[in-house]
Chain A
């Protein structure tokens, strides 16, 4: 039960961290593409 509830609570911050890393990497890629195409990021 401890393991199950521990997982139930902590899986959300872990997922949040995963999405945070994914978004940061994607933004860096967006920035690189925008520079290469000589246009603005937004």
Chain B
């Protein structure tokens, strides 16, 4: 079997589906709407989100439209192990951040963004670097999600790409604008239930409709030796390893995750993130299996576009009602991520930019809300415009990925080691970015001594990643041990070899350089050691000041007697 055409819905049908989805979501948010919203709740609810809503929101946020398409593409390209090499590492991004998240929360229980914590630890320059990386990431994510909506609408109906982009953008903005993060987490639950239920039905339905296990096994003959191998080196080096490198970077660089870390009830952080890890992995790997099914059947993607694989399989083997379910699945996944990005962007502008840098501790909560809502409107407009013009964002994506990699060590170390300085944080990130660009764009020939230098830095980067991951779960000694072993292994196996994989080399170089510069500068500094207890005093709520009866305020550390309580800085 080769390519098959996609089922086409009429314009009224597709409009009705979108109206039902966005209308239903909007009606859901009316139940929690308040005439006068609270600035803190607009950013992180009441810091006491329960396990169920928290886990649902974390899972729904992390699953975006590209998750399904990319997992299926991985299954189609790399065969048996392909879906695992996409979904497993994506899931581990959630898992590996929670030990650090608990530390962030302990240091700043009433924070709204990770940037606020870094501001209290270091000051504005480090905070704004983190905020910039978060903003770029969320704007890219918005654009990608709106693009996915436009693409899906245009391939399944006579409606244009732009129409799909605009409907999705306006739909998401309408239900998120008034209540912010509260609306985002509540609707995430409903959207997740829909997309999980649909995934549970669609995967077995396609599997058995195509002929079941016997047909899949028979089709394994169509695979290359690498594709049929569960331990394929091709899949590991080209799909798994670059993703593994990004495990910590994506989670640190993403305000949507930190926002949930600060919103979930502190006692529930661990079960929330564990459940989200399993939930994300199961859905994404499961839908990736449809790519593997297509490969075993010898199906060619329509118009050579891998994004058509899942709709093609559903169109070929199932009745139109399943295409409608698949449509809701994708719209639900992209909307849940887009509303989280809008909430993340508004929190960054409210707390990091307005609260900490413009108002400088004298923030007016009502003005903060206005800043947050205006941010949402501008971000949605920007996302729609960028998506409509189908801008090439590859360079921006590469740049943001590098920035996220470069900030991992400085951010984590700043929360555990009292010697890290603001100058070390800022300089290390900037130097790492320069080194990344030199390697990634091959501005220097990666041969001879230069190649060896970059491989050395990349080896340090590899050691840092493994060391941090182990440190998060098993503590400092085991982290150091694992990091040194990983560094030694990298020095033996990567030198003279890693320069052939510039994407991987450059990413690891960013980690290694920022760590090296940050550690050397901090050790050389004579600055007084930092007292972590002061962070909790410097990061507080904006609405509940001076004796306000909020539960969150009661849990704050008592400020020194001579300190004047200010909004957002108590």
Interface residues of A (CB under 8 A from B): 1-3, 5-6, 8-10, 12-13, 15-17, 19-20, 22-30, 33-34, 39-42
Q: Which residues of B contact A27 (CB under 8 A)?
A: 50, 52-53, 56, 189
- Besides A20-B193, A20-B279, A23-B193, 13 more A-B contacts (Cβ < 8 Å) are A9-B289, A13-B199, A13-B282, A15-B281, A16-B199, A19-B278, A23-B189, A23-B192, A27-B52, A30-B52, A39-B46, A39-B551, A40-B32
A22 to B203, CA, bound (A): 20
Q: Which residues of A contact B193 (CB under 8 A)?
A: 20, 23-24
Q: Which residues of B contact A28 (CB under 8 A)?
A: 52
Q: Which residue of B lies closest to A24 (CB)?
A: B193
Q: Which residue of B lies closest to A28 (CB)?
A: B52
Interface size class of B (residues with CB under 8 A): 35 or more
Instruction: Mark contacts of B281-292 with chain A using CB atoms, 8 A cut-off: 1 yes-contact digit, 0 otherwise.
Output: 111011001001
Please provide the chain B residues from 195 to 216 with a CB less than 8 Å away from any CB of chain A in the complex: 196-197, 199-200, 203-204, 207, 212-214, 216
A10 to B83, CA, bound (A): 13
Q: Does B185 contact A (CB under 8 A)?
A: yes
Instruction: Mark contacts of B32-68 with chain A using CB atoms, 8 A cut-off: 1 yes-contact digit, 0 otherwise.
Output: 1000000000000110111111011001000000000
> How far, in Å, is A13 (CB) from chain B's closest CB?
4
A40 touches B46 (CB 8 A): yes
A33 to B51, CA, bound (A): 11
A29 to B56, CA, bound (A): 14
Given contacts A12-B203, A42-B186, contact A23 B213 (CB under 8 A): no
Instruction: Mark contacts of B265-276 with chain A using CB atoms, 8 A cut-off: 1 yes-contact digit, 0 otherwise.
Output: 000000000010
Contact of A1 among B52, B182, B217, B281 (CB under 8 A): B217
B32 touches A42 (CB 8 A): yes
A30 to B282, CA, bound (A): 24
> How far, in Å, is A32 (CB) from chain B's closest CB?
10
Where chain B touches its partner, the secondary structure class is helix
Q: Which residue of A lies closest to B60 (CB)?
A: A23
B289 touches A42 (CB 8 A): no
A6 to B51, CA, bound (A): 33
A5 to B189, CA, bound (A): 32
Q: Which residue of A lies closest to B286 (CB)?
A: A12
A34 to B286, CA, bound (A): 34
A28 to B51, CA, bound (A): 10
Contact of B289 among A12, A19, A34, A41 (CB under 8 A): A12
Contact of A33 among B50, B212, B283 (CB under 8 A): B50
Please provide the chain B residues from 87 to 106 with a CB less than 8 Å away from any CB of chain A in the complex: none
Contact of A19 among B45, B203, B275 (CB under 8 A): B275
Given contacts A19-B275, A19-B282, contact A42 B199 (CB under 8 A): no
A34 to B395, CA, bound (A): 46
Given contacts A22-B275, A23-B52, A29-B52, contact A5 B216 (CB under 8 A): yes
A20 to B275, CA, bound (A): 10
A42 touches B204 (CB 8 A): no
Contact of A16 among B56, B80, B182, B200 (CB under 8 A): B200
Q: Which residue of B lies closest to A10 (CB)?
A: B204
> How far, in Å, is A9 (CB) from chain B's closest CB?
5
A22 to B279, CA, bound (A): 10
A10 to B207, CA, bound (A): 9
22 contacts between A and B (CB under 8 A): A2-B213, A5-B217, A9-B207, A9-B216, A10-B207, A13-B286, A15-B282, A16-B283, A19-B278, A19-B279, A22-B275, A23-B52, A23-B55, A23-B59, A23-B189, A26-B55, A39-B46, A39-B48, A40-B32, A42-B46, A42-B49, A42-B186
Q: Which residue of A lies closest to B182 (CB)?
A: A42
Q: Which residues of B contact A42 (CB under 8 A)?
A: 32, 45-46, 49, 53, 182, 185-186
Q: Which residues of B contact A29 (CB under 8 A)?
A: 50-52
Given contacts A12-B283, A24-B193, A42-B182, contact A2 B50 (CB under 8 A): no
Given contacts A19-B275, A23-B192, contact A3 B53 (CB under 8 A): no
A6 to B52, CA, bound (A): 31
Q: Which residue of B lies closest to A29 (CB)?
A: B52
A40 to B49, CA, bound (A): 10
A3 to B199, CA, bound (A): 21
Q: Which residues of A contact B185 (CB under 8 A)?
A: 42
Q: Which residues of A contact B189 (CB under 8 A)?
A: 23, 27
Q: Which residues of B contact A16 (CB under 8 A)?
A: 196, 199-200, 279, 282-283, 286
A41 to B197, CA, bound (A): 23
A33 to B289, CA, bound (A): 39
Q: Which residue of B lies closest to A12 (CB)?
A: B286
Given contacts A27-B56, A33-B50, A42-B49, contact A15 B278 (CB under 8 A): yes
Q: Which residues of B contact A24 (CB under 8 A)?
A: 52, 193
Q: Which residues of A contact B51 (CB under 8 A)?
A: 26, 29-30
A22 to B50, CA, bound (A): 13
Q: Which residues of B contact A41 (CB under 8 A)?
A: 32, 50, 53, 186
Q: Which residues of A contact B32 (CB under 8 A)?
A: 40-42
B53 touches A2 (CB 8 A): no
A20 to B286, CA, bound (A): 14
B53 touches A30 (CB 8 A): yes
Q: Which residues of A contact B80 (CB under 8 A)?
A: 8
